[in-house]
Amino acid sequence: MKRLRWIILAVLAAILAGALSAALLHQPASLPALKAGDEAPTDSDGRPRLRGLNYTHVEDGVRKWKLKAQRARYEENTGKVFLDRVAIEFYGQKQGPIYLKGDEGIYNQKKQTVTLKGHVDGHTSDGNRLITTEITYREKDKVAETDAEVTFEGAQYKVRGKGMRVLVDQNKVILKSKVRSTFRPQGEGPPPGATME
C-alpha cells in the first residue's frame, strides 16, 4: 500500500511535467495592453518577460489542473520558455489536490521536453511527498527522468534513491541506484502473517 502511494506520487510528478508541456502548447495568450510609445516590460537581460502567469486547465466544465509561475520568458532562437517559481495543482476526483513546485521550469518546444529544477517538491493532501532537484518529462516517449537524488516519504515510510525513471504509460517507477528505505510499522507486535519464536 505504501509502495503504491509513492509510485502514484512519482507518476503525478510525470503528469505535472506533461501538464506543463500541454499548458505551454495550448494556453490562450493574453498580452498586456501597451500605450503608444510604451515598450514591453523587460528584465535585467533586456529580454521581454511575462510576470504572473496563471493557467487553469478545464475539461468538460471540470477543473483538472492549474499552473502558476511568477515570471516567464521565451527565447525564439532556442525555442525554450523559461519559467520562474513554478507551482502546479492537480485536482483528482477521489483524493484531495496534489501539489508540485519547482524553482525553475524550462519548456523546450523543439525537443518537446519540460524540466523542473531547483528545489522540486511535490505533496498530496494525505501527507505523501516527493523531493528532488531536477526532473525532465519527454512527451515523445512519455517518460519522466532524473539522475538526481529522489526522496519519497509518507507517515510510515521513506524511500531514497539516486536517479529515477517514470514510465507514465505503464504506471511504473524505477529507482536507478543506491535505493534505501525505512518503514515504520503501526501498532504493536509482529506484522500480520509473521510468527514469533
**Digitized pLDDT (tens) for each residue of the chain, 197 residues in all:** 566 566 666 665 666 566 555 555 554 444 444 454 445 455 566 665 667 777 777 878 888 777 788 888 888 888 888 889 988 777 765 667 878 889 998 888 788 787 889 999 988 788 888 899 998 878 788 787 899 999 988 888 899 999 998 776 676 778 899 999 888 877 776 666 666 55
Helix (H) or strand (E) holding 176: strand 172-183
Radius of gyration of the chain (CA): 20
Q: What angle do CA 109, 113, 117 make, to 5 degrees?
A: 115
Cβ atoms of 17 and 116 within 8 Å: the answer is yes
Domains of the chain and any CATH numbers:
2-25+49-183 (2.60.450.10)
Check: CB of residue 73 under 8 Å from CB of residue 49: yes
pLDDT value, residue 63: 82
- Residues 111 and 101 sit within 8 Å (Cβ to Cβ): no
Query: Which residues does residue 145 pair with via DSSP β-bridges, in sequence order?
Result: 136, 165
Predicted confidence at residue 154, as pLDDT, reads: 86
Own/partner contacts of 114-121, CB < 8 Å, gap of 24 or more, are 114/17, 114/18, 114/20, 114/21, 114/24, 114/139, 115/17, 116/16, 116/17, 116/20, 116/86, 120/13
3-state secondary structure of 17: helix
Task: Say what the pLDDT of residue 52 is.
Answer: 76
pLDDT at 122: 83
Residue 31 has a pLDDT of 42
Q: CA-CA distances (angstroms) from residue 53 to 36, 73, 141?
A: 24, 11, 28
Residues 106 and 117: beta-carbon distance below 8 Å: yes
Question: How far apart are the C-alpha atoms of 35 and 43, rounded to whole Å?
Answer: 19
Tell if the pTM clears 0.85, that is, is over it: no
Nearest Cα neighbor of 101 from 123, 72, 128 is 123
